[in-house]
């Protein structure tokens, strides 16, 4: 908890006052170091930068990799965004079953908005696909995230 707070303080004190490309480049480097240091939120934040093309060339495949790392670190927003990538087929092959399972996992980890995302993707799924997604989500909860990723 203290380390995440320290990351937030670092951002506010050192990065926020600067604007523009220099600030973005420093944020990218900061998040890269945080991610490499095992901080799931750092992987998530760096994934957002690649997803949006902020401070780096937009790269959906790299964003997917980083969201996956964040999700593996049990960061709910990482699982949510990874689910969205699967739901939309952005940077990965579109897969509603995997998306639903990831939204389910994110919701179980405290990601409140993942519930609505799960409901939205379920609207275009068959009952059989939903059952498959729920079974996949249970397996991921019980044995680890690998089957969902």
Domain spans in the chain, listed from the N-terminal domain onward = 18-143
| CATH fourth-level superfamily of 18-143 | Tetratricopeptide repeat domain (1.25.40.10)
Distance (Å, whole) CA 86 – CA 60: 11
Can you give the pLDDT at residue 20? 65
Angle at the Cα of 126 from the Cα atoms of 125 and 129, rounded to 5 degrees: 80
| pLDDT tens for each residue of 59-92 | 999 999 999 999 999 999 999 999 999 999 999 9
Distance (Å, whole) CA 67 – CA 129: 24
Helix axes of 2-10 and 21-36: crossing angle, nearest 10 degrees:
160
Question: In 3-state terms, what secondary structure has residue 145?
Answer: coil
Question: In 3-state terms, what secondary structure has residue 74?
Answer: coil
Q: Please give the average per-residue pLDDT across 6-16, as a whole number.
A: 44
| pLDDT tens for each residue of 90-128 | 999 999 999 999 999 899 888 778 999 999 999 999 999
Instruction: Give the pLDDT band (50/70/90) at residue 144.
Output: confident
Question: In 3-state terms, what secondary structure has residue 81?
Answer: helix
Distance (Å, whole) CA 19 – CA 32: 19
């Amino acid at each position: 908890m203290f380390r995440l707070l320290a990351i937030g303080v670092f951002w506010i004190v050192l990065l926020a006052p600067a604007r523009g490309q220099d600030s973005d480049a420093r944020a990218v480097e900061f998040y890269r170091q945080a991610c490499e240091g095992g901080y799931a939120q750092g992987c998530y934040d760096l994934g957002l930068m690649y997803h949006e093309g902020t401070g780096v060339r937009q790269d959906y495949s790299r964003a997917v990799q980083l969201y996956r790392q964040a999700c593996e670190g049990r960061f709910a927003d990482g699982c949510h965004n990874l689910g969205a990538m699967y739901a939309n087929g952005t940077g990965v092959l579109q897969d509603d079953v995997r998306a639903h399972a990831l939204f389910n996992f994110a919701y179980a980890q405290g990601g409140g908005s993942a519930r609505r995302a799960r409901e939205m993707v379920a609207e275009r799924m068959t009952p059989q696909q939903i059952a498959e997604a729920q079974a996949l989500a249970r397996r991921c909860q019980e044995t680890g995230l690998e089957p969902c990723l």
